[in-house]
């Protein structure tokens, strides 16, 4: 009887020891896993860009004529001659009722920048300045024309290789002509100034015809 009791006691002690060892093992096991998970989550990840940098190409800048402009120099509908100066621009311009559907041709002259040009009377003339010098805008909702006068060797627009030829002469001067689908630009040099005649015609044949008459009428004073 005592032998059986001793056997039960020994088995009970062994079972208790195994239980304690198992509990200790179970307690230690999550800590190791948590440590491993933490180490994995804080490991450094380097991002490799997928887009390689692109080379920046040189872009030709064409001057943009905005519709927000200073007080008009003139708004006539009959044959008149304007000779404004940069320091004296009239603020009150009479508006005349047109007598026919055909626009008259008017002459504009700038003594300060030593040029004159003809334009149709339906356009309004504005004078202002830009970073390169002076600008004269002949405004129309269908497309603006302009004369840019660059001072101190500056041009109103950027072009890498101007070639002046006598294929087209304006005011007796060789020119550089630049044509695209929306506008025509003509450059010439005189009187220590860089003149740019610009027509925004948007590909319209009527405006192209008007543009040709406009730039061919350019004269040096």
Is 72 domain-assigned?
A: no
Q: Is 181 exposed, middle or buried (0-12, 13-18, 19+ CB in 10 A)?
A: exposed
Q: Is 216 exposed, middle or buried (0-12, 13-18, 19+ CB in 10 A)?
A: middle
Return the CATH number at 118: 3.40.1000.10
Local mean pLDDT, 10-residue blocks, the chain (221 residues): 68 82 68 43 33 35 44 44 36 39 86 97 97 97 97 95 96 97 97 97 97 98 92
What's the pLDDT score for residue 6? 72
Is 4 domain-assigned?
A: no
pTM of the model: 0.58
Task: Specify the number of domains making up the chain.
Answer: 1
Is 109 domain-assigned?
A: yes
Is 14 domain-assigned?
A: no
Is 148 domain-assigned?
A: yes
Is 29 domain-assigned?
A: no
What's the pLDDT score for residue 28? 63
Integer Cα distance of 195 and 3 in angstroms: 125
Query: Residue 198's closest CA among 110, 128, 139, 131?
Result: 139
Q: Tell me, rounded to whole angstroms, the distance of Cα 16 from its chain centroid.
A: 84
Domain extent at residue 171: 105-220
């Amino acid at each position: 009887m005592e032998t059986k009791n001793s056997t039960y006691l020994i088995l009970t002690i062994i079972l208790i020891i195994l239980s304690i060892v198992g509990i200790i093992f179970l307690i230690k096991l999550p800590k190791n896993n948590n440590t491993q998970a933490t180490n994995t989550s804080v490991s450094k990840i380097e991002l490799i860009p997928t887009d390689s940098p692109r080379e920046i190409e040189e872009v030709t800048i064409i001057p943009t004529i905005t519709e927000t402009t200073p007080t008009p120099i003139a708004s006539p509908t009959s044959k008149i001659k304007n000779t404004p100066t940069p320091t004296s621009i009239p603020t009150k311009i009479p508006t005349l009722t047109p007598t026919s559907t055909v626009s008259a041709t008017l002459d504009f002259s700038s003594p300060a920048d030593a040029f004159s040009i003809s334009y149709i009377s339906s356009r309004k003339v504005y004078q202002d300045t830009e970073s390169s010098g002076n600008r004269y805008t002949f405004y129309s909702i269908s497309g603006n024309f302009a004369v840019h006068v660059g001072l101190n060797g500056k041009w109103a627009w950027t072009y890498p290789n101007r070639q002046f030829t006598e294929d087209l002469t304006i005011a007796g001067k060789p020119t550089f002509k630049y044509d695209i689908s929306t506008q025509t630009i003509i450059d010439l040099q005189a009187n220590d100034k860089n003149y740019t005649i610009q027509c925004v015609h948007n590909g319209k044949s009527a405006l192209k015809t008007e543009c040709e008459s406009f730039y061919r009428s350019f004269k040096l004073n």
